[in-house]
Amino acid sequence: MESPLFKDIIVIFLVSVTVIYLFSKLRIPSIVGFIVAGILAGPAGLKLVGSEHNVKVLAEFGVVALLFTIGLEFSLRTLLKMKGAVLIGGGVQVGLSILAGMAFALMGGYPWGQAVFFGCLLSLSSTAIVLKLLQDQSQIDSPQGRAALAILIFQDIVAIPMILLTPLLGGAGGDVGGSLLTLLLKGVLTIVAVYIGARWVIPYILFNVAKTKNRELFLLVIIVICLAVAWMTNAIGLSLAFGAFLAGLIISESEYSHDAIGHILPFRDVFLSFFFVSIGMLLDIEVVFSEPVIVCLLILGVILLKTAAAFLSVLFEGLPLRAALIAGLSLSQIGEFSFVLSLVGVKYGLMGGQVYQVFLAVSVITMVLSPFLLRIAPAVADQVVRWPLPDRWKTGSPIHNHVTRTRRRDHLIVIGYGLNGRNVSRAAAKAAIPYMILEMNPETVRRERKVGEPIYYGDATHEAVLRHADIEYARAMVIVINDPPATRRITELAKQMNSKLHVIVRTRFIQEMKVLYDLGADEVIPEEFETSVEIFSRVLRKYLIPKPEIEQFIAEVRAAGYDMLRNVAPESITCSDLKICFPDAEIATFRIGGDAPAAGRSVAELALRKRHGVTLLTIRRGEGMIYNPEAETLILAGDILVVFGAPEKLAAAADFFSPPVAEPAMETVEGR
C-alpha cells in the first residue's frame, strides 16, 4: 500500500541533500538550502510534494525540538535575571515595529484596523531561524545573542494576544478583554506548574529513570516531558514552541541537562529541516516576477525598519552599539508566527488576494536573507562603531539586565567518578585547578552534588555533552572509565573538538595502549601493569634496595613500554615514540646544587658524553631554556639539566650533579 507521507519525506530529503551539497560548495548556509529545496519541491516549483499539511506537521516538531534544546541550555534562574531584558527589550522592539508598520500602512491609505494588523505582522521575527543561526555561530551566549533571545521570548508570548485581538480589528465582536484575562490566569498557573516541576517532580522522575541505566528509556522520558509540556501550553492558548522552551528550562535545573542535550540534538536537526522546507513551499515565484519593484522595496523596508526597532530596543537596555547592531540585523526577518497571524487576518478580511501573496513572498525572502545578514553583521557593526558617535553608545551602560553564562576556561574534565576519578578530582581541588566531572551513575551524581562537587550526569560519547562541558576551552581531560569502546570514542571525539587538549587515559589492558595513542591520547596508563610495578617496587624496598635504583627500575619498565612485564612479538613494536624506539634509554632531569662538581664548569669541561656516556639536551635556567647548549656555556647552580642516556648511565652520573634530584620524565619525542 502506497504511503503519501513516506513518499513526500523521501522526496524532501533527496531534494534537500542535492541542494545543500551544491550550496556547501558555494559556502551558502544550509538554512537557505532547505528553503530553496522547499521552493523547488513545492506547488510553485516542480510540485513533487503531494501533502503540504504533513510537512507542516513535521515542521512543528522541528520548532519544538529547537526551542527545547535552547531551554536546556538556560535555567530558570538565568531567565528570571533576564526578565528586565524580556519585558523592556521585547516591549520596546514590538512597540516600535507596530508603530512603524501602522505609519506606513496609514500613508498607503489603509484603515486603522488593517494598519494595526500590518504592524503586528511586522513586529514578529523568526525564532527558529535566529536561534539556529546564533547556535551555529556560537553566539547564543554572547550579549547580542541574549538580547535577541529575550526579544524573541517576548514576541512568542505577545503573539497570542495579537491573535485574540485580530477579530476585533476585523470588525468582529467578542469579549476580547475577558479572553485576555483568562489567558493571563492560565499563564500564571503554567508558571507555577513549571516551578514545581523543575524543583521537585522532574528531578525525581529523571533520577529514577537514570538509575535503570536504560538509554532508550531515558530518551523516551525526555521526549515525553518535552511534548507533554508543549501540549499543555498549547491547550491553554500559548504556542507549542513556548511550551517546549519551558520544558527545556525545567530539565535544565537538574543535573541531567547535559545528557538530555546529547540525546535530543539528532532529532532536532532532522525535524527542523522540515520547518525550513515548509517555509520554502509557501513562496509563489510568480508573485515576485509580477511585482518585482514592489516586492524588493518592501523587503528593503522590512529589513531596515525591523533592524532599527531591534537596534533601538537593545541600545535602550544599555548594551554597546556593536551588540545592538548585530542583534538588530539578526531580527530583521518576518517570523513564523506572522504566518499564523496572517491566516487569522485572512479569515476576518484584514488581508487577502494579492496582498497576502506579496506578504508571503516578502516574508520568505527576508528569511532567506537572514543567514547572509547575520554573517556580515559583525563587519557592519565594526564599521559603524568607528563613526564619531557618543562614547556612551559605543560602550553601553555598565549595568544592564543581561546575564551571560560564564564559560569554564583552562579547566580539567574528569570522565568517570570511580576511585581514580575521585582521587584526580581531590587532587585538582587541593591544587586549586578548576575542574568538572561527567558521570553516568545518577546516585553518585546526586550524592556528590549535595556536597558541592561540580559533577553532571552525562554520556561523554556525545559531542553535545562535551561541548556543554566547554571542551573547546579545557586544558586537560582524564578518562577513567571501565568501558574500552566508550574510552576510544571519547578520546577520538575530544581530540577532534580540541586538538590542543591534553588527554590522559587509564586503561585496564596493555593492548589498548597503541589504539588509544593512535586515536590521539597524549598519555596512556595501563592499570594492570602499573599495579605490578607498584607491588614490585615495594618488594624491592623490603629487600633494602636503594631508592634511586628502585626509581630507575620503574623508569626503565615504563620507558620500555612495559616490555619487561609482557611477551610481545618483535614485529608488533613500532617507533611511534621514544619509549619504543629506544627501550634502553630515557630522559632525566637533574637540578645543579650549589656544591655540585658540575657547578661553575662549562659544557666542554663536563664532557658528559665521554666521561659518563650521557648526552646533554637542554638547560633550563629560570623561566628560559637553552637549547643545544654550546661548548663554552657555563653550568650554574640552580640550573636544571635535561639529559638523555641509558638508565644505568644516568644513575651513575647522578653523583656528578650532587645533591642529585633525579626525576625521570618519561617524555617522547613529541612530548607524550
194 and 343 fall within a common domain: yes
Query: Which pLDDT belongs to residue 401?
Result: 43
Query: Which pLDDT belongs to residue 19?
Result: 93
Query: Which pLDDT belongs to residue 209?
Result: 92
324-381 confidence digits (pLDDT tens) = 999 999 999 998 888 878 888 888 889 877 898 899 899 999 999 999 999 999 999 8
Q: Please, which pLDDT band fits residue 87 given cuts at 50, 70 and 90?
A: confident
For the CA atoms of 66, 69, 74, 75, the dihedral, rounded to the nearest 10 degrees, stands at: 120
In a domain, 406, yes or no: no
Residues near 367 by beta carbon (within 8 Å), at least 6 away in sequence: 35, 126, 129, 279, 333, 334
**Top-confidence residue, 216 or 583:** 216
Residue 573 has pLDDT above 60, yes or no: no
Nearest CA to 146 among 83, 68, 225?
Answer: 83
Q: Are 561 and 513 in contact (CB under 8 A)?
A: yes
Query: Which pLDDT belongs to residue 576?
Result: 41
Considering 475, 506, 535, which residue would you say is the last residue of a domain? 535
Considering 535, 565, 593, which residue would you say is the last residue of a domain? 535
Please, what is the Cα angle at 151 between 146 and 154, to 5 degrees?
125
Q: Please, which pLDDT band fits residue 128 given cuts at 50, 70 and 90?
A: confident
Q: Please, which pLDDT band fits residue 78 given cuts at 50, 70 and 90?
A: low
Task: For residues 568 and 87, give the distance between their C-alpha atoms in angstroms, rounded to a whole number.
Answer: 69
Residues near 521 by beta carbon (within 8 Å), at least 6 away in sequence: 491, 495, 503, 504, 505
497-533 confidence digits (pLDDT tens) = 999 999 999 987 777 888 999 999 998 888 766 766 7
Q: Please, which pLDDT band fits residue 563 given cuts at 50, 70 and 90?
A: low
- CA 238 vs CA 123, 131, 184, 195: distances in Å: 18, 20, 10, 17
Say which residue the cell 569554564 belongs to. 408
31-66 confidence digits (pLDDT tens) = 889 999 998 988 888 888 877 777 778 788 878 887
Residue 486 has pLDDT above 60, yes or no: yes
Highest mean pLDDT pick, 100-109, 129-138, 162-171, 401-410: 100-109
Q: Are 333 and 126 in contact (CB under 8 A)?
A: yes
DSSP-assigned states of every residue in 624-645: EEEES--TTPBP-TT-EEEEEE
368 and 430 fall within a common domain: no
Residues 147-167, mean pLDDT to the nearest whole number = 85
Q: Are 159 and 345 in contact (CB under 8 A)?
A: no
In a domain, 295, yes or no: yes
382 and 424 fall within a common domain: no
In a domain, 461, yes or no: yes
Considering 503, 535, 567, which residue would you say is the last residue of a domain? 535
Query: Which pLDDT belongs to residue 560?
Result: 60
CATH of the domain at 285: 1.20.1530.20
- CA 27 vs CA 20, 365, 375: distances in Å: 10, 19, 12
Say which residue the cell 513533487 belongs to. 48
CATH of the domain at 589: 3.30.70.1450
514 and 620 fall within a common domain: no
614 and 500 fall within a common domain: no
Nearest CA to 517 among 504, 498, 527?
Answer: 504
In a domain, 398, yes or no: no
379 and 424 fall within a common domain: no
Say which residue the cell 538509575 belongs to. 211
309 and 423 fall within a common domain: no
Highest mean pLDDT pick, 170-174, 318-322, 396-400, 412-416: 412-416
Query: Which pLDDT belongs to residue 661?
Result: 44
Judged by average pLDDT, the poorest of 219-228, 512-521, 638-647 is 638-647
Query: Which pLDDT belongs to residue 559?
Result: 64
158 and 81 fall within a common domain: yes
212 and 74 fall within a common domain: yes
Residues 581-588, mean pLDDT to the nearest whole number = 65
In a domain, 179, yes or no: no
- 3-class secondary structure, 618: strand
Residues 189-214, mean pLDDT to the nearest whole number = 86
- 3-class secondary structure, 591: strand
In a domain, 545, yes or no: no
DSSP-assigned states of every residue in 391-431: HHHHH--SS-S--------S-EEEE--SHHHHHHHHHHHHT
Rounded to two decimals, the pTM is 0.63
For the CA atoms of 255, 259, 262, 267, the dihedral, rounded to the nearest 10 degrees, stands at: -90
Other CB atoms within 10 A of residue 208 CB: 11
Task: For residues 325 and 378, give the distance between their C-alpha atoms in angstroms, rounded to a whole number.
Answer: 8
518 and 445 fall within a common domain: yes
- The domain tally of the chain equals 3
Query: Which pLDDT belongs to residue 574?
Result: 41
Q: Please, which pLDDT band fits residue 115 given cuts at 50, 70 and 90?
A: very high
Highest mean pLDDT pick, 178-192, 338-352, 391-405: 338-352
- Beta-strand relationship, 615-621 and 586-591: unpaired
Q: Please, which pLDDT band fits residue 659 given cuts at 50, 70 and 90?
A: low
Residues 267-281, mean pLDDT to the nearest whole number = 84
Residue 421 has pLDDT above 90, yes or no: yes
Task: For residues 569 and 572, give the distance between their C-alpha atoms in angstroms, rounded to a whole number.
Answer: 6
Percentage of the chain lying above the pLDDT 70 cut: 87
Q: Please, which pLDDT band fits residue 172 given cuts at 50, 70 and 90?
A: low
In a domain, 143, yes or no: yes
Query: Which pLDDT belongs to residue 571?
Result: 41
Domain of residue 642: give its range.
581-657
Beta strands in 133-236 (DSSP E): none
**Top-confidence residue, 412 or 620:** 412
Q: What is the rounded radius of gyration, in angstroms, for the C-alpha atoms of the chain?
A: 32
Give the HSE-up count for residue 384: Cα atoms under 13 Å, Cβ half-sphere: 16
Residues 97-104, mean pLDDT to the nearest whole number = 95
Q: Are 330 and 137 in contact (CB under 8 A)?
A: no
Task: For residues 48 and 38, give the distance between their C-alpha atoms in angstroms, rounded to a whole number.
Answer: 10
Query: Which pLDDT belongs to residue 291?
Result: 86
519 and 597 fall within a common domain: no
89 and 221 fall within a common domain: yes
In a domain, 546, yes or no: no
What average pLDDT does the chain have? Answer: 82
CATH of the domain at 475: 3.40.50.720
